Copies of this chain bind each other. A is one copy, B any other.
Amino acid sequence: MLQLSIDPDLPVPLVEQIVQAVRHQVDDRILRPGMRLPPIRKLAQTQQISRFTVVEAYDRLVALGYLQSRRGSGFYVAPQRVPTPSRQRPVIAEQAVDVAWLMRQALDDSPDVLKASAGWLPAEWLDQEGLRRHLRTLGRRADARVTSYGSAQGYLPLRQQLQIRLAEFGIGAPPEQILLTHGATQALDIAARHLLKPGDTVFVDDPGYFNFFGNLRLIGAKLVGVPRGADGPDIDTLEALLEIHRPKVFFTHSVLHNPTGANLSPAAAFRLLQLANRHDFLVIEDDTYADLHPHATTRLANLDQLDRVIYVGSFTKTLSGSLRVGFMAARPDLIAQFTDVKTLTAVSSSEFTEQLVYQMLTDGHYRKYVERLHGRLAQASADALRLLERLGMEVFLEPKGGLFLWGRAPHIEDSAPLASRAAEARIMLAPGKVFRPQMQASPWLRFNVAFSSEPRLERFLDEAFARA
């Protein structure tokens, strides 16, 4: 029998008081499965409350799985409360170190895991309060578009805003040449699906962005690595590889290259585009980390003006990984085809989160906020550089900005076993192997400078290198 004492003077809403009382009594087995609850009218009378209050409380309890509604008969305690322990997926350290493994680990949100391998900023560095403010604003605006699918190419004001931003990089792209996507990864996926068929050859940076390598393998593409130096892809090697292979696409990262942090030099950019013309391949330029670079720098799309270059960007790194807003800019004919692929595979992107990103970009705070991130990252990078030096690691180069340091572990040939051992200690490391197109052994590790200041990282690596 339900025991209920409702107090209208409490600050807790009446609906909530009923919900809590029933939940506790079901959890404590005072109300047992199958027991009937007082009819709505009766409970409202005895408690002197509105029937709507009882209906809303019962409906919430049904939604929460505590009650069941039987048509025409009333509400009953649900037959068995489904046990739904919110346990974390255990970190399986024995598991083979591969791309999917690394991504799963990175997305594991157990609070005790140190994510020295993450590809993003810590949540507390981001403008969470700004986002929340815009949520409230959108929630008050009757003209906010919260339910419609939106257009196939994505929210027009954001595409117009991107035109302005790309113009600052010297890239001319009207809104018609911009397609909004579910993060940069969907943009890369759409391009790859449209341009490649199983067996096709793709050139990639070696080392390069591992998650997209996994994507290309899923499509059945043949990956050929082009060695990556401090100035960009090694163009002499690229030229030699083009004697042997006929790639459809070269997928590369120009600014704050993942994982090395290196930029592309104008000379390398020019030679790369000349080769693309001569050998008739397209270039996918991933510029995900664009806004983390404090200065102007060379982009392929700036030279090429979206003739052979498909440019991909994102707001995941500076605004929110949760909103999943990315974009691509390309030739009109390609954008038309990519739009159809997007429609067939995902219908549309979220116009709602696109509005939110548009608000964040245009409220006048974004530039200052990003400058603060630059300063904070520069400090973290200096600290992490000193850490790697103390540990006796070789650093590939001192990046001009961004998240990453690429460090070589001393005395070992393959950093993958080290990453496995680190996972046991709940430290996530990104071993060089996963950044290589054929998963070749590598002594390198990628560090995220924003996550590298915890002393237990230094302790772990110090001990590990001493043992090696």
The chain A residues found within 8 Å of chain B, CB to CB, are: 15, 19, 55-60, 62-65, 69, 82, 84, 86, 89, 99-100, 103-104, 107-109, 120, 123, 126, 128, 131-141, 144-152, 156, 160-161, 163-164, 167, 174-175, 182-183, 185-186, 189, 193, 197-198, 211, 214-215, 218, 220, 319-324, 339-341, 343-353, 361-368
- A389 CB to closest chain B CB (Å) equals 31
| Residue among A99, A149, A351 with max Cβ neighbours from chain B (10 Å) | A149
Chain B residues with Cβ below 8 Å from A103 are 152, 343-344, 347
- A342 CB to closest chain B CB (Å) equals 10
Chain B residues with Cβ below 8 Å from A185 are 345-347
- Copies of this protein in the complex: 2
- The 3 A-B residue pairs with the shortest CB-CB distance in the complex, in nearest-first order: A60-B364, A135-B139, A136-B139
Known: A99-B344, A107-B343, A215-B344. A63 touches B362 (CB 8 A): yes
**Partner among B128, B146, B150, B183 whose Cβ is within 8 Å of the Cβ of A107:** B150
Q: Are B60 and A363 in contact (CB under 8 A)?
A: yes
Q: Which residue of B lies closest to A16 (CB)?
A: B364
Q: How far, in whole Å, are A348 and B262 apart by their CA atoms in the complex?
A: 27
Q: Which residue of B lies closest to A140 (CB)?
A: B136
Q: Are A107 and B341 in contact (CB under 8 A)?
A: no
Q: Are A341 and B63 in contact (CB under 8 A)?
A: no
Q: How far, in whole Å, are A150 and B107 apart by their CA atoms in the complex?
A: 6
**Partner among B128, B148, B344 whose Cβ is within 8 Å of the Cβ of A211:** B344
Known: A59-B366, A365-B59. A147 touches B135 (CB 8 A): no
Q: How far, in whole Å, are A198 and B322 apart by their CA atoms in the complex?
A: 33
Chain B residues with Cβ below 8 Å from A15 are 364
Q: Are B146 and A132 in contact (CB under 8 A)?
A: yes
Chain B residues with Cβ below 8 Å from A211 are 343-344, 347
Chain B residues with Cβ below 8 Å from A347 are 103, 107, 183, 185, 211, 321, 324
Other 10 A-B pairs with CB < 8 A, given A109-B148, A189-B345: A59-B368, A63-B363, A63-B364, A65-B164, A103-B343, A104-B339, A109-B151, A183-B347, A211-B344, A350-B350
Q: Which residue of B lies closest to A88 (CB)?
A: B151
Chain B residues with Cβ below 8 Å from A123 are 145, 147-148
Q: Are B351 and A147 in contact (CB under 8 A)?
A: no
- A55 CB to closest chain B CB (Å) equals 7
Q: How far, in whole Å, are A133 and B343 apart by their CA atoms in the complex?
A: 30
- A81 CB to closest chain B CB (Å) equals 10
Known: A347-B185, A350-B350. A193 touches B218 (CB 8 A): yes
Chain B residues with Cβ below 8 Å from A19 are 364
- A13 CB to closest chain B CB (Å) equals 11
Q: Are A163 and B218 in contact (CB under 8 A)?
A: no
Q: Which residue of B lies closest to A181 (CB)?
A: B346
Q: Are A156 and B107 in contact (CB under 8 A)?
A: no
Q: Are A107 and B151 in contact (CB under 8 A)?
A: yes
| Residue among A58, A139, A145 with max Cβ neighbours from chain B (10 Å) | A139
| Residue among A126, A161, A350 with max Cβ neighbours from chain B (10 Å) | A350
- A372 CB to closest chain B CB (Å) equals 13
What are 7 residue pairs bridging A and B, where the CB atoms are less than 8 Å apart in the complex? A64-B164, A84-B163, A109-B151, A137-B139, A147-B320, A211-B347, A321-B348
Known: A145-B322, A147-B123, A323-B350. A362 touches B64 (CB 8 A): yes
Known: A84-B175, A322-B351, A367-B63. A344 touches B152 (CB 8 A): no
Q: Are B146 and A131 in contact (CB under 8 A)?
A: yes
Q: Which residue of B lies closest to A215 (CB)?
A: B344
Q: Which residue of B lies closest to A59 (CB)?
A: B364
Q: How far, in whole Å, are A164 and B146 apart by their CA atoms in the complex?
A: 26
Q: How far, in whole Å, are A402 and B82 apart by their CA atoms in the complex?
A: 30
**Partner among B56, B107, B161, B344 whose Cβ is within 8 Å of the Cβ of A348:** B107
Q: Which residue of B lies closest to A184 (CB)?
A: B347
Q: Are A60 and B343 in contact (CB under 8 A)?
A: no
**Partner among B56, B132, B146 whose Cβ is within 8 Å of the Cβ of A128:** B146
Q: Are B352 and A323 in contact (CB under 8 A)?
A: yes
Q: How far, in whole Å, are A193 and B192 apart by their CA atoms in the complex?
A: 13
Q: How far, in whole Å, are A64 and B168 apart by their CA atoms in the complex?
A: 12
